[in-house]
Amino acid sequence: MRSLVSIPVINLAIASTVLVVEADSGEVNYAGSHAPIGIMGDHVHEKGEVMVSYRYMNMNMQGSRLTGEAISENTIVTTIPNRFFGAPGQPPTLRIVPTEMTMEMHMFGLMYAPSDGVTLMAMLNHVEKNMTHTTYRGARGTSILGQFVTKTKGIGDTPVAALVTLANSDTYKLHATIGVSLPTGSTTEEDAILTPMGGTPKVRLPYPMQLGSGTFDPIVGLTYAGGLLSSDTGWGYGAQWRSVFRIEDNDEDYRLGNEHDLSVWINYNWSPAISTSLRLNYMDRGEIDGIDSKIMGPVQTADPNNAGLQQLGLGLGINFAGSGSWNGHRLSAEYLLPLSRKTSGVQLETDAMLLFGYQYAF
């Protein structure tokens, strides 16, 4: 059941950043001509142009949240019911608490425009996840047995899309995104855990530690950009909506929730070479539908009802555009921090995201 309680939180200790370098030769190259680097598929290319890009993303999560409020580890292990209670060896409440998670992603992008009206793009992702846990001793009480870390890494899902120009005037640009996320990421990752009874079995890891959705997921979106279209200094602005739909169950008998993402941004070009940006992002991630029978345990991440999230975030970005022999190269960064969020059930909370990127077009 989804809670309607929400408490806005400003956590200055957390941060998120995105840095990207990008190059677009053959056209005017100035820093503010693109959206903040955390936005994917924000621009189209002219016929025959190719662009390669690399992005690095680092995300940190720490501490847990029940719907809108922070919840302590001791409260989790003494009051939150274990949905698997009744199965052999399963205690009545949760007994393992994730305390911290880091996710790193290396994203290699390719764009190619077969015509002025259509730009094709694909992104290959390498994902690495680490989750630290505290295990409490036995079936009840607040005595700590120990800590353990689970790790997964590998190729994530691969989005491929067509960006179709709908309008390209002197004052604004608009394009649609139509694509699909290919299920190249694993949904069967395993690692050793520490159980409340002291065992260290290797088990299938809970949903947030898996690398992909396991399904072909349609992607649709719209991107609007205005201002900065005919000058290289001053203000620009834009907006993007992007949704990923989960329309089938994967081989493990579940589907991840649909994701809807809306960003609005403004940027200011201090010179043709440097721009800064401010972005507001709203993200809605739905519940997991179904359950993987191999994922079971007295831990919040093993319950598919603890996956929904609505989050409002603020992004601070900076972009550099090369000139002369560096024309066409861009370097950007963005730091994203949550302003408010609402989780379904108990989940780790996002502290910050940092993104770096390099792009080169020819």
Residues that bind Cu ion (CB under 5 A): 51, 111
- Residue indicated by tokens 């309680």: 5
The radius of gyration of the chain's CA atoms, rounded to the nearest angstrom, is 22
DSSP of 253-282, one letter per residue?
Answer: SEEPPPEEEEEEEEEEEEETTEEEEEEEEE
Nearer to Cu ion, 51 or 295 (CB): 51
CB of 22 to Cu ion, least distance (A): 7
CB of 263 to Cu ion, least distance (A): 17
Cα 125 to Cα 156, 286, 348: the distances in Å are: 5, 22, 23
CB of 321 to Cu ion, least distance (A): 13
Nearer to Cu ion, 10 or 28 (CB): 28
Nearer to Cu ion, 122 or 280 (CB): 122
Gap between the Cα atoms of 220 and 107, Å rounded: 20
Do 183 and 212 contact (CB within 8 A), yes or no?
yes
CB of 32 to Cu ion, least distance (A): 15
Residue 193: CB partners within 8 Å, gap ≥ 6?
Answer: 96, 133, 135, 148, 150, 200, 201, 202, 203, 297
Nearer to Cu ion, 111 or 288 (CB): 111
> Helix (H, G, I), strand (E, B), or coil: what is residue 169?
coil
Do 53 and 66 contact (CB within 8 A), yes or no?
no
CB of 166 to Cu ion, least distance (A): 17
Nearer to Cu ion, 212 or 238 (CB): 238
Gap between the Cα atoms of 340 and 278, Å rounded: 17
Nearer to Cu ion, 91 or 179 (CB): 179
CB of 159 to Cu ion, least distance (A): 14
Gap between the Cα atoms of 164 and 176, Å rounded: 5
